[in-house]
Structure 1
Amino acid sequence: MKKWLLRILVVFLLFVAGVAIWVLRNRRDRHPDYQVDLHIKPGQQPGRLTVGFGLQTITPTISDTWNDVNKDARYREEDGDTYNDLNNNGKFDPVWIAGFHNRKPANGIHDEVWARAMVIDDGNTRLAFVVLDAIGFMHDDVVDIRELIPEEWGIDYTMIASTHTHESNDLIGIWGPDEFHSGVDPQEMERLKQQTVKAIAQAIESSRPAKLLFAQDISGTDEALVKDTRKPIVKAPGVFVMHVVDAETDATLGTLVNWANHPEVLWSKNLLISSDFPHYIREAVEKGVVSDTTRLKAGLGGTTIYFNGAIGGLMAPHPSIGIPDAFTDSLYFEPSYDKAKAIGDQIGLMALGAVENPDTVIERASISIRAKTLTMELDNPMLLLASSIGLLNRGGPGINTLRTEVAAFKVGPATFLCIPGEIYPEILHGGVENPAGRDFDIEPIEVPAIQNQMPGKYRFYVGLANDEIGYIIPKSEWDNELPYLYLDERDTYGEENSLGPNTGPVIYQELLNILNELKQ
């Protein structure tokens, strides 16, 4: 072999080896020994409950702003877009907004985004319940936070979910300056983790003997605020509330509000950091449903935690649906903060109205928990590529697998089901179909509906809990190839943001398993 050919071969092999090492490093398992297999059974006698709430801001710092010349919400120097070097360091320091598309730097803060925590204790078991104003928070990062929590705090299990707001900073990676560079700021990520731990500490320090008041509005009024953008038309109706008061004074400690809708009212052109409609739900429940001159309902005070439910499919406050203003005859279609407030006010009215006549009040209860680590197949070439090049900062036990988690816990008459992504409502509530055009010629697998298998009178669904694995789609509704579902002219949305067609059946079965074990 000629020397020049040998040199080329050596260089090529070195290049291949370098790429392989780089990919393997990006796909490395960040927590190789981590495993959850937790089963805490209820005590023989219900214990007196203590509950505390905490909140810490996780709002990113906006160092620089920019000038969007053609108003497309995409920063492109080739379009003439320029930046304002507010920190005078000679370069653009953007905060990339997650959701819709990349190249979207924030131009300011509309409302603070938060880590909001509740710690509940029955005398035997202590549970931390945390919700972040984020589009999603991956399992590796959840584990990082858990490892920061001191053992002496006595927390048996920490659940961390995301509201799924499309208007806060990128904590996943795919909404950066382009398709090949992450939008996650490592310093902001580390700060968020520290702030989350502080919120948990604050909840522990503020804990008081408590009463839990359970209420719900299942009238269906909220369905008008949600559009199901993919057949079959199955929504996740209802506003579910757990109101917590001091057992001695009846003063509000905090309130949990559960409702299912994508927080994306502000849509794709918004350039301000915001938690979207969850901000207005929390404001309404804490401070009341108010306008400049009118108060429709008084607030409860305390700290409100809003968490999302079954939003796959896709449940959205789409611009095609009008949201009624609670105070006027106005109907909001176009994306705006007025529309976001209108949704917050409507859900706030439902939550506050339900709390006025709670269905159940308890002071003593037992906490039971079942949580389990899963190894899932990553059968999505684009997500595997994104992970391999470091766009997504998560690895797994194998080259095409990742680690995630399912959980359920029961507090007295209420069950909370923790789902690691955006599950399609028909899996929870029934209505899975096998329409013409499906990729797999099978009968529905994800039956019967999960809600019928849940113990307790009150059922809370915690979406994007402990992970964001994307859409959890019934396999009989999977559609990546022609013909399209229901023989429609357009393709479906969801599959490109799912781990793969077996995700739905696996998550469904594992959720059923932990619910059955929770009953034991």
Structure 2
Amino acid sequence: MQSKVTIKALKNHSGTLLCTAFLAILIPLSGCSDGSDGIRPVSGLQVGAAKRDITPTADTAPPDGSSVFLGGYGLGPERPSTGVLEPIYVRAFVVNGPNGTLAFAQNETQGMFAAYEQGPYGLLDVAAAVEAATGGAIPRSHVIIGSDHSHAGPDTIGVWGGVPESYLTYLRDQTVAAIVAAYESRTPAELSIGAVDATDLIRSQFDAPPNAVVDGELRVLVATEPGDATSVIAAMINFSAHATVMGSDNTLISGDWPSVVASSIESELGIDTALVMVADVGRTQPQRDIGGGDTNEERLRSYGALVEERALLAMADLEPVEGDEVSVTQRFLRETYTNPILPFVVLQGLILRSNTPPWLSAEEETIGTVVSAARIGNVLFAAVPGEGYPAIQLAMEERVEAQQHFFFGLANDQLGYLIAPEEGYPDILAAAPDNDNAVFNVSSQIGDHVQCALLAAAADIELLVEPDEARCAQYADENAQIPGM
């Protein structure tokens, strides 16, 4: 379904706008116009979006859904689900250009792995299934799937009690279905981007540099019908708050603020799918109490309303994406496990992630994972396998020349916190175990390693990159291909 979004409605929501970006999509000049000149050519892009319900039920998580544990607080099976606050979804956003197709998706769970020990349920298994279902039109390397990291979502990691295998099957199948449905629904579109400062909605868990900095930019990607800037097809929101508005005493399933915002934007714009992709959420928490409310649910609704307001402001000041080239690359990296708190042998038995190569090597005590970089026109989309620290995104903004820099955390894998820069690691380690950033972490340098892989990936898709030779020289000979894939 596609519905009209009026300029007047967006003016009323933002309060101070002189002309909206939906008009600016058509008129890439400063100021308002009647559209009689300055019309940019119709792009060669197509966009489709879809969502599928992934709420645990008696059928997908027998006997009654209570076999699903919620993840993210404490350690161990402390929070079995006692019901559903609101349905949870996987949402997909597919972009097809003259030279390729790119699929984004996000599920409302604690986090998912590239591969699972239990069977073909990993995010790269999903990508392979999408490739097969689309006859290769969407190559598996062109699929970027994130998790919203909801601490009210199912524990698909396994640290906090886990989920039954039947639910992993359901989640995999629904994710494939959402992406394929989005691909099949694609229609000619124009893409625009916007951003707004939302620093006041988040905070860092650490006050001293370099760990005090946050990425306060809220970014949006909006697809509209060609020649009709008021007809919105789909939208994407990218923001860096942990999905932890719901506290540790909550036992009701929800997608936390990303789900609230997605549903609200869908209703506000009259569209089927608004995709929220969490960004560099490492050590970045929401300002939980700024919206008011006495209960978890009240705080969730009020915080979600604040994020929604900023997203709509960003959507009311858009600029067209420059170009319609679609290019994607995926790089494999291997990191030696050196966590001094959680021994490697404990890690092997603690999580549901595959414990065989290339994802884990017991002999070498290494972890394998992937990073992705994609571009649509001159816009960069960077995807990292965990809770990336803001320093990674800030380095991409500084060193990669692009019209905008989107950043997706917990994408295609989940390795915990990606601490960066490495110089800040001692303060993070000193705060453990009260703060869990060093507990759920592969090594002191994995954040820098991921950053270097992203810079190399951005160069692979022919964006102009300023190298960080001092930090990245040790990874220069890294093999970019996933072994055995």
The two structures have a TM-score, normalised by structure 2, of 0.76
Q: Are 2:159 and 2:350, in contact at CA under 8 Å, matched by a contact in 1? A: no
1:245 aligns with 2:224: yes
1:159 aligns with 2:144: yes
1:371 aligns with 2:330: yes
Distance (whole Å) between structure 1 residues aligned to residue 217 and residue 448 of structure 2:
25
Distance (whole Å) between structure 2 residues aligned to residue 248 and residue 123 of structure 1:
19
Distance (whole Å) between structure 2 residues aligned to residue 451 and residue 375 of structure 1:
25
Aligned-pair identity (%) = 25
1:224 aligns with 2:197: no
After alignment, is 203-212 or 300-309 more displaced?
Answer: 300-309
SS at the partner of 2:401? coil
Cα deviation, residue 371, structure 1: 1.4
Which residue identity is paired with 2:202?
A: V
Name 2:68's counterpart in structure 1: 95
Name 2:460's counterpart in structure 1: 517
Name 2:391's counterpart in structure 1: 426
Name 2:403's counterpart in structure 1: 457
1:172 aligns with 2:157: yes
Q: 1:462 to 1:490 in 2, by over 3 A?
A: closer
1:354 aligns with 2:314: yes
Q: 1:490 to 1:98 in 2, by over 3 A?
A: closer
Distance (whole Å) between structure 1 residues aligned to residue 63 and residue 284 of structure 2:
38
Cα deviation, residue 146, structure 1: 1.9
Which residue identity is paired with 1:495?
A: A
Which residue identity is paired with 2:108?
A: D
SS at the partner of 2:367? strand
Q: Are 2:81 and 2:251, in contact at CA under 8 Å, matched by a contact in 1? A: yes
Name 2:379's counterpart in structure 1: 414
Distance (whole Å) between structure 2 residues aligned to residue 259 and residue 409 of structure 1:
18
Name 1:60's counterpart in structure 2: 56
Name 1:323's counterpart in structure 2: 290
Distance (whole Å) between structure 1 residues aligned to residue 390 and residue 416 of structure 2:
14
Q: 1:383 to 1:249 in 2, by over 3 A?
A: farther
Distance (whole Å) between structure 2 residues aligned to residue 491 and residue 184 of structure 1:
26
Name 1:81's counterpart in structure 2: none
Cα deviation, residue 516, structure 1: 2.6
Distance (whole Å) between structure 2 residues aligned to residue 192 and residue 356 of structure 1:
34
SS at the partner of 2:342? helix
Distance (whole Å) between structure 1 residues aligned to residue 343 and residue 108 of structure 2:
23
1:117 aligns with 2:117: no
Cα deviation, residue 172, structure 1: 0.7
Q: Which aligned pairs between 1:142-153 and structure 2 lie closer than 5 A?
A: 142-149=123-130, 150=132, 152-153=135-136
SS at the partner of 1:478? helix
Cα deviation, residue 306, structure 1: 0.3
Cα deviation, residue 211, structure 1: 0.9
Cα deviation, residue 244, structure 1: 0.7
Which residue identity is paired with 1:113?
A: I
Q: 1:490 to 1:498 in 2, by over 3 A?
A: closer
Cα deviation, residue 269, structure 1: 0.6
Deviations 1:354-382 (A, max 9, x none): 222312256x5111222111122222363
From 305, 310, 329, the counterpart of 2:280: 310
Which residue identity is paired with 2:344?
A: L
Distance (whole Å) between structure 2 residues aligned to residue 110 and residue 93 of structure 1:
14
Name 2:412's counterpart in structure 1: 466
Distance (whole Å) between structure 1 residues aligned to residue 203 and residue 252 of structure 2:
24
Deviations 1:144-163 (A, max 9, x none): 11222215151031111111
After alignment, is 410-419 or 351-360 more displaced?
Answer: 351-360
Distance (whole Å) between structure 2 residues aligned to residue 391 and residue 450 of structure 1:
31
SS at the partner of 1:253? strand
Cα deviation, residue 64, structure 1: 13
Q: 1:504 to 1:393 in 2, by over 3 A?
A: closer
1:475 aligns with 2:460: no
Cα deviation, residue 318, structure 1: 5.2
Q: Are 1:47 and 1:123, in contact at CA under 8 Å, matched by a contact in 2? A: no
Q: Are 2:193 and 2:321, in contact at CA under 8 Å, matched by a contact in 1? A: yes
Q: Are 2:98 and 2:324, in contact at CA under 8 Å, matched by a contact in 1? A: no
Q: 1:52 to 1:424 in 2, by over 3 A?
A: same
Deviations 1:306-336 (A, max 9, x none): 0111111x111255xx313xxxxxx34x551
Distance (whole Å) between structure 2 residues aligned to residue 386 and residue 111 of structure 1:
34
Name 2:29's counterpart in structure 1: none
Q: Are 2:85 and 2:254, in contact at CA under 8 Å, matched by a contact in 1? A: yes
Which residue identity is paired with 1:316?
A: Q
Name 2:9's counterpart in structure 1: none
Cα deviation, residue 490, structure 1: 9.2
Name 2:240's counterpart in structure 1: 260
Query: Which structure is larger by alpha-carbon Rg, 1 or 2?
Result: 1
Q: 1:494 to 1:127 in 2, by over 3 A?
A: same
SS at the partner of 1:187? helix
Which structure 2 residue ranges, 5 or more long, are not aligned? 1-40, 116-121, 464-485
Distance (whole Å) between structure 2 residues aligned to residue 350 and residue 390 of structure 1:
39
Deviations 1:414-443 (A, max 9, x none): 1111111112113332xxxxxxxxxxxxxx
Q: Are 2:67 and 2:163, in contact at CA under 8 Å, matched by a contact in 1? A: no
Distance (whole Å) between structure 1 residues aligned to residue 238 and residue 351 of structure 2:
31
From 213, 229, 234, the counterpart of 2:192: 213
Name 1:34's counterpart in structure 2: none
Which residue identity is paired with 1:51?
A: V
The two structures have a TM-score, normalised by structure 1, of 0.72
Q: Which aligned pairs between 1:388-403 and structure 2 lie closer than 5 A?
A: 388-389=348-349, 391-395=351-355, 396-397=357-358, 398-399=361-362, 400-403=365-368
Which residue identity is paired with 1:382?
A: L
Q: RMSD value over aligned CA atoms?
A: 2.7
Distance (whole Å) between structure 2 residues aligned to residue 461 and residue 211 of structure 1:
21
Q: 1:480 to 1:367 in 2, by over 3 A?
A: same
Q: Are 2:321 and 2:377, in contact at CA under 8 Å, matched by a contact in 1? A: no
Deviations 1:116-147 (A, max 9, x none): 11111112201111111111111111121122
Distance (whole Å) between structure 2 residues aligned to residue 343 and residue 351 of structure 1:
13
Q: Are 1:139 and 1:403, in contact at CA under 8 Å, matched by a contact in 2? A: no
Cα deviation, residue 184, structure 1: 2.6
Which structure 1 residue ranges, 5 or more long, are not aligned? 1-44, 66-84, 177-182, 289-298, 325-330, 430-448
Which residue identity is paired with 2:284?
A: M
SS at the partner of 1:128? strand
